[in-house]
Amino acid sequence: MRRREFITLLGGAAAWPIAARAQQAKPPIIGFMGESTREGQRQWVAAFVQRLSERGWTEGRNITIEYRWAEGRNERFAEIVEELVRLKVDVIATQGTPAVLAAKRVTSIIPVVFAIAGNPVANGLVASLARPGGNITGLTNQSADLAGKRIELLRDVTPRLRRLGIMANVDNPSVVLDVGEVRAAAQTLGLDVISTDIRRASDIAGAFSALTGRADALYVAGDPLVTTNRARLAILAASARMPTMHPNRENIEAGGLISYGPNLPDLHRRAADFVDKILRGAKPTDLPVEQPTKYDLVINLITATAIGLEIPPSLLARADEVIE
């Protein structure tokens, strides 16, 4: 073999790995569909991305994450899913029943992982918890006695509780189920219930006006609309000097009084585990829906002082976090 030909051959051999890498498939794309805003879900996203990193997926290196935000408007979900489908994402990660229902209507092929959803069987998201079926799986906050525990906690901080207000976005199927459980629990405890429906941000002030003077405390049903407007809710509740129960700690950071519910950053970490398994070849139908394992009781003492409430020391001792 001539020297020039030999050198050329060596050069070609050295280039083979580069050519092979160039022909490899592009990094997987995760579509992250947020129900609120980037700032509103900052802790959830951080937990999700951190867990992916622990599983060997680094954003910008071997995965791409396309973030889209519904900003508390459920009607945005369908167009976001359609956009993610056009981008040919490999998996969609989201949270909340309206978002998952929108994804189910748009695609039956792309895997969908929900970090949280209320009663996914009753809402038609999956066939069963053990065998989800189709392209959807994730984690549920389904708990038969969760509403009852929250009302009992409200009674602990409002001993004279007789009339319970409920604020709920009734366009959310999961919220409708939650309200049914709240009503049943309130009836068992001998409480009167006054409900106010909200469907958009502009309904919130009117809902508080309708409840002021008629309700002793307020149960706020969890929903993207509530998450996005949680600071406004806290201000209105403080102005009305009304104790409020919320589903998660994010609302308490914004000024709500008390929350009891699943730890949402933890659920997003576990949702990342689902995504990891799917990216490595698992099928959603073979991944059972899981339930929360970590619940948090969070109390805002600043809010309690502002509305003239004294939190029992026994309840403070039970709290996972006290904001003061």
Q: Does a structural domain hold residue 119?
A: yes
Q: Which two tokens stand for residue 229?
A: 């407007």
In terms of Cα–Cα distance, which of 103, 168, 164, 165 is closest to 137? 103
Q: Would you tell me how many other CB atoms lie within 10 Å of the CB of residue 69? A: 19
Domain total for the chain?
A: 2
Q: Does a structural domain hold residue 1?
A: no
130 and 45 both lie in a single domain: yes
Question: Can you tell me the distance from the alpha carbon of 261 to that of 251, in angstroms, rounded to the nearest whole number?
Answer: 11
100 and 153 both lie in a single domain: no
187 and 108 both lie in a single domain: no
224 and 247 both lie in a single domain: yes
For 195-208, what is the mean pLDDT? 93
Q: Does a structural domain hold residue 12?
A: no
58 and 95 both lie in a single domain: yes
Q: What tens digit of pLDDT does each residue of 248-264 get?
A: 888 999 999 999 999 99
Looking up tokens 């309690």, which residue turns up?
A: 304
Q: Does a structural domain hold residue 177?
A: yes
More confident residue, 299 or 223: 299
Q: Specify burial of residue 183 (Cβ count, 10 A radius: 0-12, 13-18, 19+).
A: middle
Q: Does a structural domain hold residue 14?
A: no
The CA R_g of the chain, rounded to the nearest whole Å, is 24
Q: Would you tell me how many other CB atoms lie within 10 Å of the CB of residue 244? A: 27
Full-model pTM: 0.84
Q: Does pLDDT of 19 surpass 90?
A: no
Q: Are 312 and 156 in contact (CB under 8 A)?
A: yes
Q: Does a structural domain hold residue 18?
A: no
CA distances from 225 to 21, 99, 163, 199, 215 (A): 45, 12, 24, 8, 22
In terms of Cα–Cα distance, which of 198, 193, 199 is closest to 209? 198
170 and 226 both lie in a single domain: yes
Q: Does a structural domain hold residue 22?
A: no
pLDDT over 90 for what percent of the chain? 76
Q: What tens digit of pLDDT does each residue of 69-126 get?
A: 999 888 999 999 999 999 999 999 999 899 999 999 999 999 999 999 888 998 899 9
| Average pLDDT in the chain | 89
Question: The domain containing residue 211 runs over which residues?
Answer: 146-261+296-323
80 and 136 both lie in a single domain: yes
State the pairing for strand pair 321-323/163-168. Answer: unpaired
Q: What tens digit of pLDDT does each residue of 136-152 get?
A: 999 998 665 788 999 99
Q: Are 190 and 210 in contact (CB under 8 A)?
A: no
Question: Can you tell me the distance from the alpha carbon of 227 to that of 25, in angstroms, rounded to the nearest whole number?
Answer: 38
Domain CATH for 229: 3.40.50.2300
In terms of Cα–Cα distance, which of 231, 222, 227 is closest to 255? 231
Residue 285: φ, ψ to 5°: -65, -20
In terms of Cα–Cα distance, which of 232, 209, 231, 233 is closest to 221? 233
Q: Does a structural domain hold residue 7?
A: no
Q: Does pLDDT of 316 surpass 50?
A: yes
